[in-house]
Structure 1
Amino acid sequence: MIICHCHAVNDRQIKEAIAHGIDSVRGLNRELNVGNTCGQCLPQVRRVLESTLMQIAEPSPKKVA
């Protein structure tokens, strides 16, 4: 899904950048240019960032042998 229409950045690109260590809107702004033009995407960028970081932080369930 396209998040930033001004720079054609989708949610996968944002998640990939987060997986490579970017952990802030400012970092995503520098890396992907999201929010640099009109700024309307920033609320959605924040949501994707926060939900992705939460998924990374959640421990995965351990399988019982």
Structure 2
Amino acid sequence: MIVCHCRVVSDGKVANAIESGARTLAGICRSTGAGRDCGACVFSLKRLLCEHGRPLPAMPPEVEVAAS
């Protein structure tokens, strides 16, 4: 499926970028070219990042209780 129509970037290409190390929206945009023109695809790129990205590491215990 085409995610970015301006640069003709597919969801497969975005998934490959994530598997190759893109961990942020900016990283996906740099490696695929998506999201650099009209920006209509940004929400789809974020969704794909959440679906295909690795979970973030847990917060260290001292950070979790810092607010108390």
TM-score (norm 1): 0.79
Gaps of 5+ in 2: 56-68
Large movers: runs of 4+ above 2 Å: none
The one-character-per-residue Cα deviations of 1:2-57 (angstroms, maximum 9, x if unpaired) are 0000000000000001111111110011111111000000000000111111xx44
Structural RMSD (CA)? 0.9
Which of the two has higher C-alpha Rg? 2
User: Across the two proteins, how many residue pairs are aligned to each other?
Assistant: 55
Q: What is the aligned partner in structure 2 of residue 35 from structure 1?
A: 35
Q: Sequence identity, in percent? A: 33
Give the partner amino acid of 1:2.
I
Q: What is the aligned partner in structure 2 of residue 60 from structure 1?
A: none
